[in-house]
């Protein structure tokens, strides 16, 4: 009879199994091996479905600035080991218990803290890395954010926080002082605008004064023109009066000669009789009256000619004085008023430079100092972040493929062990189940 090719002969030595016999056992018990392996696969799939995913949030922090040196350099007083110890002891849980967003937590969440120490004079990391695993990215980020804030709140209450408080207080006082200086600059700007407006009004008054001087020049010019015409008329009248005086003197001379001629005849007794003498005396007296009237007329004409000349000379003197006044007013207009206007315009330009350049420059310097103090105030904290909190886009746990592979391998190995154990039990059942003999 031919032996079965699928049956492997047992080992020559009892109690020993060969590779062939092991493989034969696994082949014969393949249903058990594959069944347990299938259970491992199912368990891996179920693990990936049942277990909720976890997201990792990562943040880096370092000891914060609690003060500044005289040169402006930062002073950090917290050791990295203290930060790591604080997070390892879950000291943030006290603050978390008072927060509504963490009311569902039954215990302190785990925030891992670690850093790279420096050894053998080799520069190590000066930052602490914080990590947290949570079921949602938002919860993971919030836990790290609130954990850092809880550290800062507790640190501000101890002796380290007192120096931090003094630094922050000094920065706020400096910012308030700079703010008041900027407000003072704003008030100075408004006062400068008022001074510019005042100088502009003065410039307007100078223009009005200039117009007044120009009107005085026009008035004096018109008066001189009128007085010039009057002088011409008076001088013409004086010349005409003198000509009339000459003619009147000639007529008076003729009258006097006639009267002398008449008066001389009467004195010599040339009258023809008493009647003739009376007539002659009467005619002589009439001629004498006319001569007197003529003499008075000559004197009046002569006096009028003199008065006209004097008035003409007076008006000419007034014209000369007005010319001098007009020259003076022109000098005032060209020199004094021009200088006054130029001075006011120069003051306006100076104030405009102050308004456009000096005050903005001073405000920019004060604003820069204010921003510097604000930066110092923002940087002062017991624990300082290094960049934002980063959260993994995909869950880091569970790793479904690895879990399924591990459980499958475990199921396969368990199935093989179960198959071998089962075979051994079947072959040695009588021995295993035999009652133990008493000695």
CA–CA distance, 263 with 281 (Å, rounded to integer): 8
Query: What is the pLDDT at residue 360?
Result: 93
Quick: pLDDT tens for 200-243: 998 889 888 888 888 888 888 888 888 888 888 877 877 877 77
**pLDDT at residue number 281:** 57
Which of residues 237 and 269 earns the better pLDDT score?
237
Whole-number pLDDT of residue 12: 45
Query: Which has more confidence, 242 or 285?
Result: 242
For the domain 190-379, what is the CATH code? 1.10.287.1490
Give the per-residue pLDDT at 181.
94
150-178 pLDDT, tens digit per residue, is 888 888 776 555 777 888 888 999 999 99
Region of residue 16 (left: phi > 0; alpha: psi -120 to 50; beta: else): beta
pLDDT band at 263 (very low <50, low <70, confident <90, very high): low
Tens of pLDDT, residue by residue over 319-338, are: 888 888 888 888 887 888 88
Please state whether beta strands 55-63 and 128-134 pair in parallel, antiparallel, or not at all (unpaired). Answer: antiparallel
Q: How sure is the predictor about 5, in pLDDT bands with cuts at 50, 70 and 90?
A: very low
Rounded to the nearest integer, the mean pLDDT of the chain is: 79
Does residue 6 have a pLDDT over 90? no
Predicted confidence at residue 265, as pLDDT, reads: 47
Model confidence at 197, in pLDDT bands (50, 70, 90)? very high
Per-residue model confidence as pLDDT tens digits over 67-81: 888 887 888 877 888
Confidence (pLDDT) at 316: 84
Q: How confident is the model at residue 431 (pLDDT cuts 50, 70, 90)?
A: confident
Phi, psi of 130 (to 5 degrees): -105, 135
Q: What is the pLDDT of residue 279?
A: 53
Whether 270 shows a pLDDT value over 90: the answer reads no
CA distance 355 to 348: 10
pLDDT at 381 over 70: yes
Q: How much is the pLDDT for 290?
A: 63
Backbone angles phi, psi at 117, to 5 degrees: -75, 155
10 pLDDT more than 70: no
What pLDDT, in 10s, does the model give residues 299-316? 777 777 778 778 878 888
Q: Domain limits of the chain?
A: 190-379
Asked if omega into 398 is within 30° of 0 (cis), the reply is yes
- CA dist 54 → 57, 138, 382 (Å): 10, 11, 30
Query: What is the three-state SS of 237-297?
Result: HHHHHHHHHHHHHHHHHHHHHHHHHHHHHHHCCCCCCHHHHHHHHHHHHHHHHHHHHHHHH
pLDDT (0 to 100) of residue 387: 84
**What pLDDT sits at residue 64?**
82
* Region 127-141 average pLDDT: 89
Looking at the predicted structure, is the pLDDT value of residue 413 above 60? Answer: yes
pLDDT of residue 326: 84
Beta bridge partner(s), residue 75: 67
């Amino acid at each position: 009879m031919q032996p079965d090719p699928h049956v492997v002969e047992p080992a020559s030595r009892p109690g020993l199994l060969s590779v062939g016999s092991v493989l034969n056992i696994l082949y014969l018990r393949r249903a058990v091996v594959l069944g347990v392996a299938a259970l491992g696969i199912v368990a891996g799939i179920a693990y990936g479905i049942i277990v909720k995913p976890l997201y990792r949030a990562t943040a880096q922090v370092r000891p914060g600035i609690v003060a500044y040196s005289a040169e402006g350099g930062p002073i950090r007083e917290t050791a990295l080991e203290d930060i790591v110890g604080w997070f390892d002891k879950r000291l943030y849980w006290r603050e978390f218990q008072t927060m509504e967003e963490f009311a569902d937590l039954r215990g302190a969440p785990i925030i891992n803290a670690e850093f790279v120490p420096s050894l053998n004079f080799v520069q190590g990391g000066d930052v602490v890395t914080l990590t947290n695993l949570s079921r949602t990215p938002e919860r993971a980020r919030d836990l790290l954010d609130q954990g850092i804030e809880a550290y800062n709140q507790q640190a501000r209450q101890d002796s380290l926080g007192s120096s931090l408080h003094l630094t922050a207080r000094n920065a706020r006082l400096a910012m308030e002082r700079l703010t008041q200086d900027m407000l003072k600059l704003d008030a100075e700007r408004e006062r400068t605008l008022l001074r510019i407006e005042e100088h502009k009004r003065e410039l307007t008054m100078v223009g009005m004064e200039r117009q007044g001087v120009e009107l005085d020049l026009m008035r004096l010019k018109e008066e001189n023109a009128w007085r010039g015409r009057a002088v011409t008329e008076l001088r013409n009248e004086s010349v005409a009066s003198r000509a009339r005086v000459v003619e009147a003197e000639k007529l008076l001379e003729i009258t006097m000669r006639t009267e002398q001629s008449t008066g001389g005849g009467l004195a010599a007794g040339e009258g023809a009789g008493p009647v003739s003498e009376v007539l002659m005396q009467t005619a002589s007296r009439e001629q004498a009256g006319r001569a007197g009237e003529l003499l008075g007329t000559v004197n009046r004409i002569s006096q009028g000619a003199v008065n006209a000349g004097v008035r003409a000379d007076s008006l000419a003197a007034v014209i000369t004085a007005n010319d001098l006044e007009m020259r003076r007013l022109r000098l005032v207009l060209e020199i004094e008023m021009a200088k006054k206007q130029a001075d006011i315009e120069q003051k306006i330009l100076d104030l405009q430079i102050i308004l456009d350049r000096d005050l903005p420059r001073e405000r920019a310097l004060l604003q820069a100092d204010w921003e510097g103090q604000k930066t110092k105030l923002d940087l002062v904290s017991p624990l300082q972040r290094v960049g934002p909190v980063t959260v993994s886009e995909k869950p880091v746990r569970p790793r479904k493929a690895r879990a399924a592979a591990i459980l499958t391998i475990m199921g396969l190995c368990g199935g093989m062990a179960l198959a071998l154990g089962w075979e051994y039990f079947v072959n040695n059942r009588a021995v295993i189940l035999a009652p133990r003999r008493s000695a």
